Chains A and B, each alone.
Chain A
């Protein structure tokens, strides 16, 4: 039975969008029932909530798009639900079905003012607690929040809204941290939070009882800015999200726009994009190695990772002109053709990488201290990672096969033969080994592609102003640290009505609490490092 028919049976009032991707609109009052049914479906449980995208449809009201995927069949569906009441917008929470909704619903609340009923922790997540209004709403007054120089006090209580039996909505206070808790503040200025992330951790001696991440210290409002930019202009932002997945992020956005506008890109551009994605992945994983080692106090191997990463950056610089922010993918292809000795240098690098990887393992992987620090620490089970939406290496370390390259191939990944690296332990060591093995697997992919780049145009000509047809469009790639997805809602203009990026890091930061409880402070750093989040990607 088709999934849409199944939903139609459950919710007779549902409608399916005709343009763009099939968005299934469900009335808010039957949404919760449908979500439960889909989540616990026997044959095809929609147990992976990819993202919740808050939306402001003006007259129609506020609502959200729920991107769901089944971890069994990899079928993807999009649900849409909305409420017409703009002043008191309430939607049912799904945070008990998918744990990742806990943080995604907070994001929707923060930007759109949609309150989720029965969500245990309705606090703002990115913005200050004393922020006025909800900035992603279309009617938001830009002058309502002048620069505030006061210190922000974080409340130790939070709100939970629930529905009384008589239909009225009540509010109850939940406690985040008790008065007696010994709360230590880690970040935003801290060497091991990998950016300006802040975590409040309550401790019992050295043991962690709870972690409350506070994001938003470098939130730049990329999604809001993008709403006033033309499609080619929006490209500039993607490299600055997760700067260690710059190519992949931009690849996703280009793919999404090309798909929506019906632009066919050449085979050559596909190859170049894929090669660049893999180089970027090696780059990111080498930095991951350096950071993990550094965070565990081993300062010497740190330089090993950087030594090899430098070679990749040099290769990239020659072709793209950039080292960290490359701005290489364009709508219709890539910005410039590859340099004449690009192929030779990549092959040299692969050879070199294979010869030095033993050093990496000798100095750190086999070290008894490293082993005891990582093995069995911060275990996430398969059910947990799926529920948390922790994609990428973190998910694969727990045995969740979630590689977008395998299950929803893009670029030329369907033409190469590669393994999806899977571990089952779910501890820090498995997460670490995943990345180390992926470096070698990426080398294999590169080797298969590098000599077979077909001749042809590296870029097809596109119109300077691109208008997308009405509808919802999305494209996802396997970025260096998980599934990165671009969701566009177009109303037929040259600018997106709403452009949302699925942050790879947000679910990972959210996983910190689950993974760290009961471990030591030193483990928090190790777990944070092996989860491998990048903060500018969390604070978009």
Chain B
């Protein structure tokens, strides 16, 4: 954690795949590949993020290897498709630890799996980075090996609440989720947050995502006097139905909530494109177009570089960039410490301050493994996707 090392890291960040790593000579005759376990939900329901992350992972690994690897060591990605099933994730994690003997694990990508495998990785002191949102996944005492590369639920919640209360300046809130585990817990957390901030939660519901007609619930929300509807669900079908009902009712209210509100699937499911307007989903400043319609320079350059290699049209830029960041973080840790031991990698990550990733500027220290800057969690206009990135929702400056 010396200062010089940190400076070196920052200096070399972002140059992966271009020159720096290629120029460093293999210091030691250690030629064993750096094995990164990748617990991905690549098939089955809720596999869209996994597929997006995977594109970034593959791109980053190929780029690093094409440039000669890390001190002569190749990056080897060991992928296991967990299908989002915690049981499969537990098996795959143990396999990576005991059989494949990976040096670090990236993933899993959804919380149900992550909750089950985090204690297992902690027992093996396996360096782990994941993008899962459930708050309890990060516990620096119990799981000193686990780092979060994305916002936590609370940070999402904060962003949504902040947008409703501070930017839209609305006070009467309806909170609606689906009946899955995630939907139920997210609604409860969100309601508690709003109440704490003095907002009035006038309507709260968990709706079965397969319910064919959302009219009764939406009517109730409307008659309760809600000024904004906060949506916590991963079910695009349910979200699209809600948007259609909102249009049919002629109710001029904003939907604010879960990133899946901006999923491309919704575009197919809404009856009219207009129904998807005035919907704001959680997004990220790094992957949003500013007022000038441009991405930040660094990511604009990345998107240029990805053209023709990585398809961005049917996925989200943040998934891809997060996948790239994950692989690079492992590579940089090995490069900086010269070792692929758990202690070295975890120690290196614990010293990161404003690490300049594509997805965000992460900062970690031994007492804080939630590395994503809250200020970078923003709301974006759900229907504005282009190359997997979105326009900022109205009200944000720049």
The yes or no verdict on A and B being binding partners is no
- Give B contacts to A, CB under 8 Å: none
